[in-house]
Amino acid sequence: MLAGAAAVLVAAAGVSAALAWRDESAPTSAATSAPTGAASSAADDGEPPRRAATAGNPLRAEGPVTFYAPPEPGASRQAELWQDERPDDAELMRRLAAVPHAIRLDQTDARPEVAQRLAEARQAGGVPVFLVNHLPGGDCRPATPTDREAYQEWITGVARQIGPAAAVVVLAPSSLVNLPGTAACDPGGSAQQRYDDLRRAVRTLKSNPATAVYLDGSQADWPGTELMAERLIGAGIEETDGFFLNTAAFQDTDRTVAYGKALSACIAARRATGRTGCPADVQVDPAAMPHFVVDTARNGRGSWRPDKRYADPQVWCNPPGRGVGERPTTETGEELVDAYLWIARPGTSGGRCRRGTDGERDPERGVESPPAGEWWAELALERARNAVPPLR
């Protein structure tokens, strides 16, 4: 599960608070041929294909996109604390803080946060990515009709504050994994209620001319391509800019991209035929395949496989030896992959990891982990040191 608790507001003054990032490095993923003539021509010349610009989606602009975020607060604060006694570690924290991350919107009134970040983004010349995570029942507790209507009013406030500005919205992580009416998730609720809530939210946000919206696509092979295709179709994937992957996981980029392509093809085939499953005998129109973004904030070393045997290994919970991955960029070399983004926070704890044992200590690390969503300095340092490619 994505560890995202309270948003942290960082006081900032003017342009000095702004931070922009542009990844000039060449993409490491293998290039694929694009369906457009221009992209195919570029591929024939031996250059990575460029996606055609799409009106309304800032991630599909021609050429690299500059991302904006304020410095990550936990890493920035840690750099100051370590500056005198641990200068090398402090420098790593500064580099970690400088990578643009998704700006969390889960406050009761998120409009001031949106207004401030958009103003800073304009001055910095960058595009902000907002993680919108205020959905009632997202934790599998029952949501009343009043709660659901209040959420739509909240979304309307966020959308109005964004207005015509270029922005990316990662909408409600785990909302299509933790689905009401399914096992262990609000038995009194229904999947249709969740689909309706997400469809309304998407339509409100997409009423803005330059807002891109992505829905929850989970992670490679879990809970399954067919299941996630069904849920994304139910939630109205055709009205969005696509789906996002890997926010709750550490799967490496190549595996995640392969899963995203399979999920996209399955959605396109089902929508074209009305059939269930993932029809393998259907010629899919590339233009009908949803695009996606990949969270690379923690996947530099891929997923973790414990050497020891645990009753419940909890491979998602503070896995040791992991590192941050590729920096945010739209230069992915993949037609369907709009961007690599840092959505999860590399330095926050995934919660208390007992791995099926008694007691509060993580048997793998030998310490008691901070609660979910809390900053953990040593975890952040571990992931910064293990960065692939290295932080610089």
Determine contact, residues 377/371, Cβ cutoff 8 Å.
Answer: no
Q: Does the annotation list 375 as a binding residue? A: no
Tokens of 69: 């975020």
Give me the long-range contacts of 387-391 (CB less than 8 A, separation at least 24).
387/300, 387/323, 387/324, 387/325, 388/300, 388/301, 388/323, 388/324, 388/325, 388/326, 389/25, 389/300, 389/326, 391/92, 391/95, 391/96, 391/99, 391/324
Tokens of 57: 């989606």
110/155 Cα distance (integer angstroms)? 9
Q: How many CA atoms lie within 13 A of 203 on its CB side?
A: 10
Two tokens, residue 190:
């229904």
Tell me the β-bridge partners of 292. Answer: 243, 337
Query: Does residue 48 sit in helix, strand or coil?
Result: coil
Q: Which of 161, 64, 178 is nearest to 119 (CA)?
A: 161
Nearest CA to 168 among 348, 14, 48, 295?
Answer: 295
Burial environment of residue 365 by CB neighbours within 10 A (0 to 12, 13 to 18, 19 or more): middle
Show the DSSP H helices in 304-375 as ranges.
none
Give the distance, in angstroms, between the CA of residue 381 and the centroid of all CA atoms in the same chain. Answer: 21
Whose CA is closest to 324, among 302, 293, 292? 302
Q: Is 316 annotated as a binding residue?
A: yes
Please give the backbone phi and psi of residue 118, each rounded to the nearest 5 degrees, phi first.
Answer: -70, -40
**Is 281 flagged in the annotation as binding?**
no
Which residue numbers belong to the known binding site for substrate? 106, 222, 316
Which residue numbers belong to the known binding site? 106, 222, 316
